[in-house]
Amino acid sequence: MTTVKQLFDESRAASRPTLSFEIFPPKGDLDHRTAREVAGGLAPLGPDFISVTYSAGGCGNKHSTNDVAEIIQSDFDTVCVAHLTCAGATASSIAASIEDLRAHNIENVLALRGDVVPGIELGDYSFAKDIIPALVDEGFCVGAAAYTEGHIDCIDFNESLVHLKQKQDAGASFFVTQLFFDNECFYRFRDAAEKAGITIPITCGIMPFLSKAQVSRMIFMCGASLPSSIIKLLAKYEDDPASLRKAGIEYACGQLEDLKENGAEGLHIYTMNAYDIASAAMDALRK
C-alpha cells in the first residue's frame, strides 16, 4: 500500500493538489454492507485517499473506524487514513489501538487529541503531539489536524502555530485543516505557517454548508469565520432546503476551484458520506 506521504510527494513533484475525502463510519453497530455501500459510492470517484473518522461528534462507533478503513483499502484499492484520538487514552490502550491498526493493515493514521469532555480525565496524553512519536516509531505515516484560524480553545493565533510546529517536530508528515468557509483565512494561515517553519504539506478541509443549524454548530464548534455571502444564502433559502443544499455545494466547489488555482497542496472534502457532495467536488476539480 502507498503511504499518504508518498502521495503528497508525487503531487508536489507534479505540481497538482491531492484530492481526498473524509467519511465517517455508518452510525450504530457496524453493518459491513452499509460501509461497503458508502465506500463503493465514493471510492470509484478516484480520490487519492479517503480518511475515516474516529467516533467524531457522536457519529459512528470508534471500533468500526479500522474495519471501514480496511474495507476501503482491500475492496476498493484506495489508500486510507484511519483517525485516532488520544483524549482519555492510556499508554496501554494506545498500544492496543496500534495492534488493531496493524491487524487491519492500516499504514496511515491521523493523530488527534479529540474533544475534551468536561469531568473526564485526559489520560496519559495531553495533546495530539504526544501520541505522534509512538505511531511514527511503529512505522505509521502520521498526519495531524491544523486550524486556519487557530483551535477554538487557543485564543492566541501565534501560539497555535507553535503547537502546530510541535506536531511536525513530533513526526507528522502532513496536516489536514479544520473546515473553513473563507479562503482568505487559509491563505493568511499558509503564509504564517510557512514563516513558523511548517514545511510538510497542508491539505484544505472543505465542507459544504447544508443548513442554518449545521453552520451554527460548526462555527461555535470550530470558530470558523462566516462570510456575509453565506449568511445571505442561508437567509435566502431558509425555507427551501433543496436549494440551500445546492447553494452550499456550489459554494464549496467554488472554494475548491479557487484553492486549486492558488496552489493549495491538497483538497480534502468533508463528504458527510454523501455521493452528491463528493461527485460535485470532483467534477469541479477536474474541469
By beta-carbon proximity to ligand FAD, the closer residue of 127 and 187 is 127
Catalytic residue (one of 22, 70, 149, 265)? 22
What sign does the dihedral 130-180-109-271 (CA atoms) show? positive
What is the C-alpha to C-alpha distance for residues 174 and 48, in angstroms, rounded to an integer?
A: 14
Cite the DSSP H helix spans in 50-195. 65-76, 91-103, 132-137, 157-169, 183-195
What's at 205, amino acid-wise? Answer: G
Stretch binding ligand FAD (CB under 6 A), from 90-98, 134-142, 149-157, 225-233: 149-157
With contacts defined by CB under 6 A, name the span among 12-20, 125-133, 223-231, 247-255 that binds ligand FAD.
125-133
Q: Which listed residue (7, 11, 83, 249) binds ligand FAD by CB under 6 A?
A: 83
Q: Which residue in 207, 204, 283 sits closest to 245, CA to CA?
A: 207
List the one residue from 153, 169, 191, 240 that touches ligand FAD (CB under 6 A).
153
User: Does 273 engage in binding with ligand FAD (CB under 6 A)?
Assistant: no
DSSP state of 123: B
Q: For residues 60, 99, 176 and 137, what is the CA-based torsion angle, rounded to 10 degrees?
A: 170
Min dist. Cβ of residue 114 to ligand FAD (A): 4
By CB under 6 A, residue 56 contacts ligand FAD? yes
When asked if residue 11 is in the footprint of ligand FAD (CB under 6 A), the reply is: no
Q: Give CA–CA dist 5/35, Å, rounded.
A: 26
- Interacting stretch for ligand FAD, rule CB under 6 A, among 48-56, 182-190, 236-244, 279-287? 48-56
| x-or-dash string of contact with ligand FAD, 197-236, rule CB under 6 A | --------x-------------------------------
Task: Judge whether 99 counts as a catalytic residue.
Answer: no
Question: What distances in angstroms separate CA 158 from CA 149, 151, 220, one per listed residue?
Answer: 10, 11, 21
Overall size of the chain counted in residues: 287
Give the interface segment with ligand FAD, choosing from 9-17, 95-103, 159-167, 243-251 (CB under 6 A). 159-167
> Which amino acid type is present at position 63?
H
Residue 270 grid coordinates: 468533508
Can you tell me the distance from the alpha carbon of 283 to that of 287, in angstroms, rounded to the nearest whole number?
6
151 binds ligand FAD (CB under 6 A): yes
CB of 164 to ligand FAD, least distance (A): 8
Minimal distance, residue 157 CB to ligand FAD, in Å = 10
The answer to whether residues 31 and 64 touch, using CB atoms and an 8 Å cutoff, is no
Active-site residue set: 22
* Sites of contact with ligand FAD (CB under 6 A): 53-56, 83, 85, 110, 112-115, 127-129, 145, 151, 153-154, 160, 163, 166, 176, 178, 205
